[in-house]
Amino acid sequence: MKIRLLINGRDQEIETDPQTPLLWVIRDILDLKGTKFGCGKAACGACTIHVDGQAVRSCSYPVQLAAGKAITTIEGLGTPEAPHPVQEAWIEEIVPQCGYCQPGFMMAAAALLEKTPAPTDAEIDAGITNICRCGTYYRMRKAIHRAAELKAPVLPEEAEAIAIQDNSDNS
Amino acid sequence: MKGKAKKISRRKFVVRSLLGGGGILLGTVILARNPLRRALYGVLENPKNLTYLGDISDPMLWFEIRPELPIILHSPKVEMGQGTFTGMVQLAADELEVRPDQILIKHAESASGNIDGLSTGGSTSIAGFWQPLRELSATLREMLRTEAGKKLGVATADIRLEEGVASAGLKSLPYGQIAQGVTEWEIPETPALKEIKDYKFIGKPVPRVDLEAKVMGEPIFGMDAVLPGMLYGAVVQPDKVGVVFGGAEITQAEKMPGVVKVVVEDDFVGVVANSYTEAEAAKAAIKVDWKREREWTTADIKSAIQIGKGDKMLIQKEGRPGGILEDAKDDSSLITATYSSPLGAHAQLEPNGAVASVEGGKATVILSTQVVKLTRKEVADRLGFKEEDVNIVPTYLGGGFGRRLHTPNAVHAAVLSRAVGKPVKCFLNRKEEFQKDTFRPPTQHQLSAKLSEAGSIEAIEHQFASSDVMFNAALLPGFLSTIVGSDIGTMRGGRIQYSGIPNYRAISWHCELPFATSWWRSLGLLANTFAIESFMDELAVAAGKDPIAFHLDHIADNEEGKRLKNVITAVRDLAAFRDSARDGRAMGFACSTDAGTPVAMVAEVRMEGKEIRVDKAWMAIDPGFAVNPDQVRAQCEGCIIMGISAAMYEEMRVEDSELKPIIYGPYRMAQMKHSPKEIEVEIINGTGKPGAVGEPPLGPVGAAIANAVFRLTGQRLREMPLARG
Ligand code: FES
Ligand code: FES
């Protein structure tokens, strides 16, 4: 079956079994290798991508569900010249070790920040459930907080200061 | 650094000009420096076995200078995540007078002849390269200086080298241009190495060289490799242990969509198809006749690993521990405790796989492996090729941890590729990855001690039982296990490191299992240290002493003892160690020395409902000299978290001969929520020479947590996983 996909802003038509997991379409048909295979059962998060802005584990997501939706992979998240704030923070904190799990985590983190722009530790714990065998969670947490800062239009303290000022103006 | 400017013979270097004089290849031989290598080369009884280890006089480290930067450094070691490549680039950059980004480090292909005969592992890479790589770099620098002098027409002494450019007054030449057209190079006497204090990159927190590739998701792993016209293979793996392949029924699979060929060999059956999903589907339709002799259960495994079973070996003895402990038994003053650790999986994120192309008597295999040369031999033997006709192309590893010391998937991919005459990619799915793992062996430990009147240890003994921790004969040629086998593997951390105790001994029991157990990051260290350091804590409590003071009291005043004491007092101060619980939190302490690197740790725990949470961890490490302090820190953080995972959650079971679980989740591992929110690491540069970093920090993790839990709850946890669900 022919399916139209909008991947990283590009319109692509592919031919495949509609039940094929999106992961294999991305990796083997479109040759975008940044999205990783770790388990194939939605259990590790290595294959995390965005479908219409939502984090999705692509190994367990039939390609037909993605037809006509906007798909973003790590290759579309940012570039070396214009990295996404999550990637910038990842570089600042020197997060990766072996690196294999990292694209999945960055995609999960980027989606989390869209919903929760300044997540607490508890929100990070609940929202990021991927597996990293090298144990880079400690730096990832720092990087997610840092990415939240980089993304925020103003720093939280400044925002507070502005808010206080606004209030006094109103009184 | 003392002892600098040690002269090295020129014969250690080999120069080859690139075709047409377009550059230079300069290589050096690495002598058998680390103890494992010496053991292998020295102890071998049958030199015939040496053939595939290659000729140790072959250069293994190569620089390649082409007209344009970067300079290429061909690495015989693979990058598994421990930052080895970054460390190597730092060592080279400082002596070569270039910036780290002016060097491109690459995995050496076996066809280039300069691969490591052994493996990457054992936390040995940077320590092993410290001298030879700096010497090679300094030599190349002086060769470039001499040539630059000739080309610029100035005296060599007037040439200034900086950031890859040679200059004298207003004249300058980049390194690549200097090398142009030179066909005869003069190799100088080895120049003096710089003083550590003069280094710009060595000893500094230089960012990882693979950082950008890994953050941008570049295709750098074995799993990402592609060859033109590539098909997908899948090999049927047994889900039971102790079974032998007895043939297969393939008619149904042959008719499945996308199937190109089903290949039946004497020892396995595989399918080649147009896509991964088609290959997997066809694989599921193959019926294999698995021959098996008996059923296995977890209880069988447990009873196989028992002190008193298997081969006994005394691995350490001082004084007369036997007699004292016997007497103590008689007068009931003997203190004993038994500890255990379960079967554990590597669970590295990138599955084992390979892309192979076999054509016209030549084979190329691209894969993530820790054993390049061994993989080449296995593929060559299976195909009946000469080793020169097999090129192994190593890639970045999506986690190693010992899982890639055995890569039969390379042979599978090669056999399938030959059968269809096209390149084939073939890898394990996650169920197979869990079931075909070469596991961390289950262990049992018995500790016994006698305390003196004054509350110090008079005698102590550690007996431990484990299955193979290196290679068993089924995995690799038997000679490896006869030399370094279970003894070195299971022994890591198994000896008593407190030579201030007058009488002590350690005894190992080597037991057999029906499946492979092998090298799992740090080998026996995690389990052995869990047992010994938990017991030390029990003894401190029995003696009514502060655990840290108790440890310090039993450490001898020799060189190792001093370094161990330094990390202990450093972590004590860093954590402001408290021996008692407060506000629902308590601290626990443990330490170990592994591969010459002492590490001490304090963990702080609290209970969240019934669950143990490690909120904070402090670690002090003396790696001798930290080439990259940021990466030493990263290894400590990673080991703490991997240690929490293994010590608290992970466990494989055997039910009806089937290894379980087969997926993340049911195989419980540390996630973000289990990771400490705070980790502080102190690095002590105790010797001025880099030593092991990648594994030693795992040692104290389990015991530090268990000891903290005891202070919080009064409960002594003697079995890993500590948080058995
Ligand atoms: S590969 Fe998709 S969650 Fe593991
Ligand atoms: S960095 Fe290796 S698995 Fe996460």
Nearest CA to ligand 2 atom 4: A132
**CA of A24, closest CA in chain B: separation in Å?**
8
Exposed, middle or buried, B621 (CB in 10 Å: 0-12/13-18/19+)? buried
User: β-strand A2-7 against A70-72: which pairing, if any?
Assistant: parallel
Nearest CA to ligand 1 atom 3: A42
Assess whether B204 and B260 both reside in one domain: no
**CA of B279, closest CA in chain A: separation in Å?**
12
Judged by average pLDDT, the poorest of B184-188, B262-266, B697-701 is B184-188
Per-residue pLDDT for B587 more than 60?
yes
pLDDT at B56: 45
Query: How high is the ipTM of this complex?
Result: 0.92
Residue B380 lies in a domain: yes
Judge if the beta carbon of residue A77 lies within 6 A of ligand 1: no
Per-residue pLDDT for B293 more than 70?
yes
Assess whether B188 and B253 both reside in one domain: no
Q: Which of B31-40, B290-299, B571-580 has the highest mean pLDDT?
A: B571-580
Residue B227 lies in a domain: yes
pLDDT at B50: 32
- In the listed set B193, B215, B237, which residue is the last one of a domain according to the structure? B215
Q: Which ligand sits nearest to residue B400's alpha carbon?
A: 2
Q: What is the pLDDT of residues B125-182, one digit of tens each?
A: 788 889 889 998 999 999 999 999 999 999 999 999 999 999 999 999 999 899 888 8
Average pLDDT over residues A36-46: 98
In chain A, the residue whose alpha carbon lies closest to the alpha carbon of B639 is A135
What whole-number distance in Å separates Cα of residue B81 and Cα of residue B397? 7
Judge if the beta carbon of residue A26 lies within 6 A of ligand 1: no
DSSP type of residue B249: E
Where do the structural domains in chain A lie, given as residue ranges? Answer: 2-77, 85-151
Q: What is the pLDDT of residues B188-207, one digit of tens each?
A: 888 999 999 999 999 999 99
Judged by average pLDDT, the poorest of A14-23, B121-130, B572-581 is B121-130
Per-residue pLDDT for B40 more than 80?
no
pLDDT at B481: 42
Contact in structure between B696 and B522 (CB atoms under 8 Å): yes
Residue B233 lies in a domain: yes
Assess whether B35 and B183 both reside in one domain: yes
Domains contained in chain B, number? 3
B583 φ/ψ sector (left φ>0, alpha ψ -120 to 50, else beta): left
- In the listed set B408, B427, B446, which residue is the last one of a domain according to the structure? B427
What whole-number distance in Å separates Cα of residue B33 and Cα of residue B124? 10
Spatial neighbors of B278 by CB under 8 A, at least 6 apart, are: B232, B256, B257, B258, B259
- In DSSP terms, B675 is beta-bridged to none
Q: Which of B11-25, B53-67, B68-82, B694-708 has the highest mean pLDDT?
A: B694-708
Q: Which ligand sits nearest to residue B663's alpha carbon?
A: 1
Contact residues on chain B for A106, CB-CB shorter than 8 A: 215
Assess whether B33 and B71 both reside in one domain: yes
Contact residues on chain B for A99, CB-CB shorter than 8 A: 81, 210, 213-214, 220-221, 396, 398
What whole-number distance in Å separates Cα of residue B159 and Cα of residue B176? 16
Question: CATH number, domain at B476?
Answer: 3.30.365.10
Assess whether B325 and B406 both reside in one domain: no
**C-alpha closest to that of B343 among B434, B222, B226, B457:** B434
Residue B2 lies in a domain: no
pLDDT at A165: 53
Spatial neighbors of B448 by CB under 8 A, at least 6 apart, are: B325, B328, B334, B335, B336, B460, B461, B463
Assess whether B444 and B499 both reside in one domain: yes
Assess whether B237 and B150 both reside in one domain: no
Domain A85-151 bears CATH identifier 3.40.50.920: no
Average pLDDT over residues B94-110: 94
- Give strand ranges (E) for B287-435: 287-292, 311-318, 335-341, 353-359, 362-367, 390-394, 424-427
The single-letter code of the amino acid at B226 is V
Q: How confident is the model at residue A168 (pLDDT cuts 50, 70, 90)?
A: very low
pLDDT at B117: 60
Average pLDDT over residues B360-369: 95
Assess whether B266 and B396 both reside in one domain: yes
Per-residue pLDDT for A137 more than 90?
yes
pLDDT at B480: 45
The single-letter code of the amino acid at B4 is K
Residue B609 lies in a domain: yes
Q: Which ligand sits nearest to residue A48's alpha carbon?
A: 1
Residue B297 lies in a domain: no
Per-residue pLDDT for B44 more than 50?
no
For residue A96, which atom of ligand 2 is closest to its CA?
1
What whole-number distance in Å separates Cα of residue B155 and Cα of residue B159? 7
Architecture of domain A2-77: Roll (3.10)
**C-alpha closest to that of B615 among B586, B574, B649, B650:** B586
Assess whether B657 and B566 both reside in one domain: yes
C-alpha pair distances (Å), B518 with each of B405, B406, B441: 9, 9, 7
Average pLDDT over residues B276-294: 95
Q: How confident is the model at residue B121 (pLDDT cuts 50, 70, 90)?
A: low
What residue has token string 């203190």?
A: B335
C-alpha pair distances (Å), B463 with each of B452, B528, B647: 21, 10, 20
Q: What is the pLDDT of residues A52-88, one digit of tens each?
A: 999 999 999 999 999 999 999 999 999 999 999 999 9
Q: How confident is the model at residue B488 (pLDDT cuts 50, 70, 90)?
A: low
- Give the residue numbers spanning the domain of B253: 222-291+352-427
Q: Is A80 on the interface with B (CB under 8 A)?
A: yes
What whole-number distance in Å separates Cα of residue B357 and Cα of residue B418? 7
Contact in structure between B635 and B491 (CB atoms under 8 Å): no
In chain B, the residue whose alpha carbon lies closest to the alpha carbon of A87 is B215
Per-residue pLDDT for B41 more than 50?
no
Tell me if residue B265 falls in helix, strand or coil: coil
Tokens standing for residue A119: 């997540």
Per-residue pLDDT for B116 more than 70?
no
- In the listed set B384, B408, B427, which residue is the last one of a domain according to the structure? B427
Contact residues on chain B for A95, CB-CB shorter than 8 A: 215
A98–B348 CB contact, under 8 Å:
yes
Average pLDDT, chain B: 88
Assess whether B241 and B331 both reside in one domain: no
Q: Cis peptide leading into B408, omega within 30 of 0?
A: no
In chain B, the residue whose alpha carbon lies closest to the alpha carbon of A41 is B663
